[in-house]
Amino acid sequence: MTSRFAPGTFSPAPGRGRLPRMLLMQARTEFTLTLRNGEQLLLTMLIPLGLLVGLTLLDVVPVGQPRIDHVTPRILALAVMSTAFTGQAIALGFDRRYGVLKRLAATALPRWSLVAARMLSVLGVVIVQLMVLGAVAAALGWRPDPAGLAPAGLLLLAGTAAFGALGVLLGGTLRAEVVLALANTVWLLLLVAGGIVLSVETLPGPLAVLAAALPSGALAEGLTAALVNGAGSWGALAVLLAWATAAGLLAARTLRLS
């Protein structure tokens, strides 16, 4: 019997791919998949955009004047939370279900890159969100304080790290359906009562204290201080970094491949 394959077709020639290329390919694949996923786009783009326009034009929640300047930092915090936490946790939960982590772990990709590339992809999506939301906000009259742009950048990075680590913690341990339910519930709770839509000082006493210590409250208040007043908010940054470290360490211990 003659083979349909020429001799030597599968002669072994193993070797590791170049690390930067592997990382970028994984991150690019996950970035593309996020932008192609309709439910993810609803979460990461359409809801923040709707709230940005709605909260600016309609006087439904108390915010400072001009409204757009006070609404935009909160929507940016929401965008980070949606992508890095909720979107990522759900994607990770289902990726594990479909065996992709095991598949990638079986390649020459180092183990840490399984998560590092995800973070890179999340950061890419956050940057796209910032550009789109920033452009729409600017069209609505948003004028951030230039002195606050650098602190805001730091806060956004720290916020992405904190929410990203929490997303990996949730999505990397539980069953996909449970992840889906929890990630959406937590998203809604933090949106309403975690200091995002309603500022921390408008929340009732104990909830205000709690919200200020949550990554949602810290990011929204920190971004507001930076972009409205041009002030650095070291307390908020410290809260975010603490969450990022704690959740990151825990996630590294609990991440399950399947």
CA angle 86, 234, 87 (to 5 degrees): 5
Which runs of consecutive H residues, i.e. helices, occur in 140-204?
149-171, 176-193
Closest CB to another protein among residues 109, 198 = 109
Closest CB to another protein among residues 121, 199 = 121
Sole binder of another protein in the list 47, 53, 105, 140 (CB under 8 A):
105
Q: Per CB under 8 A, which of residues 107..146 are in contact with another protein? A: 107-110
Residue 29 in contact with another protein, rule: CB under 8 A = yes
Q: Pick the stretch among 27-35, 125-133, 214-222, 226-234 that binds another protein (CB under 8 A).
A: 27-35
Closest CB to another protein among residues 11, 65 = 11
For the bound state, the minimum distance from the C-beta of residue 53 to another protein, rounded and expressed in Å, comes to 29
10: part of which helix (H) or strand (E)?
Answer: none
Sole binder of another protein in the list 57, 102, 178, 209 (CB under 8 A):
102
In terms of phi and psi (left: phi > 0; alpha: psi -120 to 50; beta: otherwise), the region of 15 is: left
CA-wise closest residue to 132 among 30, 53, 49, 31: 49
CA angle 128, 30, 163 (to 5 degrees): 65
Separation between Cα atoms, residue 106 and residue 14, nearest integer Å = 13
Closest CB to another protein among residues 37, 202 = 37
For the bound state, the minimum distance from the C-beta of residue 119 to another protein, rounded and expressed in Å, comes to 16
Q: Per CB under 8 A, which of residues 226..255 are in contact with another protein? A: none
Q: Pick the stretch among 101-109, 127-135, 148-156, 240-248 that binds another protein (CB under 8 A).
A: 101-109
Cα–Cα distances (Å) from 232 to 141, 215, 223, in that order, read 23, 16, 9
Closest CB to another protein among residues 95, 221 = 95
For the bound state, the minimum distance from the C-beta of residue 78 to another protein, rounded and expressed in Å, comes to 24
Sole binder of another protein in the list 76, 100, 191, 239 (CB under 8 A):
100
Q: Could you tell me if 50 and 84 are in contact, meaning their C-beta atoms sit under 8 angstroms apart? A: no
For the bound state, the minimum distance from the C-beta of residue 258 to another protein, rounded and expressed in Å, comes to 9
Separation between Cα atoms, residue 84 and residue 88, nearest integer Å = 5
Residue 14 in contact with another protein, rule: CB under 8 A = yes
Q: Could you tell me if 126 and 83 are in contact, meaning their C-beta atoms sit under 8 angstroms apart? A: yes
Residue 256 in contact with another protein, rule: CB under 8 A = no
Separation between Cα atoms, residue 38 and residue 35, nearest integer Å = 8
Q: Per CB under 8 A, which of residues 35..94 are in contact with another protein? A: 36-37, 94
Question: Residue 232: what residue type?
Answer: G
Backbone φ and ψ for 32, nearest 5 degrees, come out as -60, -45
Residues found near another protein in the complex (CB under 8 A): 3-17, 21-22, 25-26, 29-30, 32-33, 36-37, 94-95, 97-110, 257
